[in-house]
């Protein structure tokens, strides 16, 4: 019979933890709730993305039919900012400041808007396959632009197509949201299915406008649907700037609530999140970002879908980094894509939306296969 120092009738005590386990300290979380290693990883990744974005922007501003060396681009920018440097000749200054830089800045704004909107959509729907077009924003904006072209509307002059696309995109989102409400609430599945129905209806309307349009209008509609930054100007940059900045500045403030929502709707409600109000606010932000981007650049696919995926693979699913990081990475992707679109087939120019789809769809298929292998299936 084993000896025991316990008093009779006393319940046995649990064995103490081994010394190594008992002494091992936990990593102290930061204010954002992430361990220091993840925090430093986010900082390095953000710094790397910003550095790549600056370098790509400068290179893109100098590359083209009229070559401008990188040092002269930097010198001209410094000269305009009053930081020294030197101005280019008359032709070089005109090409750089009236053709190249508006296009680079527009690519930055459109790419950042689409990347950030994609991260917000995937957070709101809790689905990695979600992207801005899933609730009909892109299709609705396309209907507005195609209607303006097909009907020959000119009430805003050169801004008519842009204005019609922007308003139609916002109206489409409002219609999808209202049609999805039932009993004062919206469900994710209902929103997605309503968006699919609205996308199909918008596609039919676009087909009708194309059917009744003449050859010149058909060419204009086709070019707009394929997506391009070829007609970038400073007025177009100023047109998209307020909407893009408003959405990009507001979005990071919802990152903490998106992290709670990723636990599920019921746990998020128990933790104090008004899920319905959060969903409505973020859908409005996504509508603002996407409608502004589509209105000036046409339909550009896969940026909002793939960029958040890549950042999750690199740094995890936390939205405090994912939302602003997707904006920076989206800008990087679109600046690089636009540079490739106008240089790969010189003197012709590839449609930017076609190029992003050609490169994005095989990568997305690989991503699906990789996810399926890691999870062992979709069930």
Whole-number mean pLDDT of the chain? 82
Using CA atoms, how far apart are residues 251 and 323, in angstroms rounded to an integer? 7
Residues 85-120 as b/e (b if ≥16 CB within 10 A, e otherwise) read beebeeebeebbbeebbbbbbbbbbbbbbbbbbbbb
CA pair distance 274, 113, nearest whole angstrom: 25
Report d(CA 160, CA 144) in Å as an integer.
10
Predicted model pTM: 0.83
Does any domain span residue 233? yes
Decide: helix, strand or coil at residue 295. helix
Q: What percent of the chain has pLDDT over 90?
A: 27
Angle between helices 36-62 and 101-125 (to 10 degrees): 150
Q: What is the pLDDT of residues 30-44, one digit of tens each?
A: 434 455 555 667 788
Does the residue 376 lie in any domain? no
List all residues 6 or more positions away from 219 whose beta carbon is below 8 Å from its beta carbon. none
| H or E element at residue 182 | strand 181-182
Structural domain containing residue 175: 92-366
- Which of the two residues, 188 and 352, has the higher pLDDT score? 352
In a domain, 38, yes or no: no
pLDDT value of position 376: 56
Report DSSP letters for 110-130, one per residue.
HHHHHHHHHHHHHHHHT-TT-
Phi, psi angle pair for 173, to nearest 5°: -65, -45
Structure letter (DSSP) for residue 186: E
277-299: average pLDDT: 88
Please name every residue paired with 369 in a beta bridge, in sequence order, or none if there are none: none
* pLDDT tens digits, 207-247: 998 888 888 888 888 878 888 898 889 988 998 898 899 99
Look at the chain and report how many structural domains it folds into: 1
Q: Is the dihedral of CA 191, 194, 196, 199 positive or negative?
A: negative
Q: pLDDT by residue (tens digit) across 301-330? A: 889 888 998 898 888 888 999 999 999 999
Looking at the predicted structure, is the pLDDT value of residue 20 above 70?
Answer: no
Is position 276 within any domain?
Answer: yes
CATH number of the structural domain spanning residue 164: 1.10.3470.10
Q: Which pair of structure tokens corresponds to residue 118?
A: 């994609």
- For 130, phi then psi, to 5°, come to -75, 145
In a domain, 105, yes or no: yes
pLDDT per residue as tens digits for the range 116-140: 999 998 888 877 777 877 788 888 8
Mean pLDDT within 254-277: 88
With 60 as the cut, is the pLDDT of residue 372 above it?
Answer: yes
Q: In this structure, is residue 37 part of a structural domain?
A: no
Task: Judge whether residue 52 has pLDDT over 60.
Answer: yes
Q: What is the pLDDT of residue 357?
A: 87
Q: Which residue has the higher pLDDT, 51 or 23?
A: 51
**Res 36: pLDDT:** 55
Q: Report residue 257's pLDDT band, with 50, 70 and 90 as the boundaries.
A: very high
| Residues 75-121: tens digit of each pLDDT | 999 988 888 888 888 898 999 999 999 999 999 999 999 999 999 98
The confidence score (pLDDT) of residue 49 equals 92
Q: Is 84 within the bounds of a domain? A: no
pLDDT at 340: 92
Tens of pLDDT, residue by residue over 57-79, are: 999 999 988 899 999 999 999 98
Which of 352, 356, 376, 324 has the alpha carbon at shortest distance from 118?
Answer: 324
Residues 376, 321: Cα–Cα separation, whole Å:
28
Q: Say whether pLDDT at 182 is over 80.
A: no
Answer for the pair 56, 335: CB distance below 8 angstroms, yes or no: yes
Whether 331 is in a domain gets the answer yes
Name the residue with tokens 């069930």: 379
């Amino acid at each position: 019979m084993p000896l025991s120092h316990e008093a009779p009738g006393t319940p046995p005590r649990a064995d103490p933890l081994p010394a190594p386990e008992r002494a091992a300290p936990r990593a102290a979380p930061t204010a954002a709730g992430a361990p220091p290693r993840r925090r430093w990883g986010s900082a390095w990744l953000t710094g790397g993305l910003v550095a790549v974005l600056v370098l790509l922007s400068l290179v893109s501003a100098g590359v083209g039919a009229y070559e401008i060396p990188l040092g002269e681009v930097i010198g001209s920018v410094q000269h305009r900012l009053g930081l020294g440097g030197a101005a280019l000749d008359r032709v070089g200054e005109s090409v750089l400041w009236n053709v190249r830089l508006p296009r680079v800045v527009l690519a930055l704004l459109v790419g950042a808007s689409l990347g950030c909107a994609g991260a917000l959509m995937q957070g709101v729907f809790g689905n990695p396959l979600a992207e801005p077009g899933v609730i009909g924003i892109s299709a609705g904006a396309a209907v507005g632009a195609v209607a303006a072209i097909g009907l020959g509307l000119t009430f805003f002059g050169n801004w008519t197509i842009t204005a019609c696309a922007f308003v139609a995109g916002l109206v489409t989102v409002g219609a999808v949201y209202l049609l999805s409400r039932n009993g004062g609430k919206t469900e994710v599945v209902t929103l997605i299915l309503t968006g699919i129905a609205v996308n199909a209806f918008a596609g039919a309307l676009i087909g009708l406008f194309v059917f009744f349009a003449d050859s010149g209008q058909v060419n204009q509609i086709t070019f707009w649907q394929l997506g391009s930054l070829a007609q970038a100007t400073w007025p177009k940059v100023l047109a998209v700037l307020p909407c893009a900045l408003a959405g990009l500045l507001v979005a990071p403030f919802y990152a903490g609530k998106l992290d709670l929502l990723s636990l599920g709707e019921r746990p998020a409600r128990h933790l104090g999140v008004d899920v319905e109000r959060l969903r409505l606010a973020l859908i409005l932000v996504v509508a603002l970002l996407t409608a502004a981007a589509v209105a000036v650049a046409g339909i550009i696919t896969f940026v909002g879908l793939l960029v958040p995926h890549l950042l999750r693979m690199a740094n995890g699913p936390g939205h405090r980094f994912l939302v602003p990081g997707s904006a920076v990475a989206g800008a990087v992707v679109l600046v690089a894509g636009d540079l490739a679109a106008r240089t790969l087939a010189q003197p012709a120019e590839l449609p930017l939306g076609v190029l992003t789809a050609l490169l994005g769809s095989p990568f997305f298929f690989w991503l699906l296969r990789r996810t399926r292998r890691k999870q062992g299936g979709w069930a």
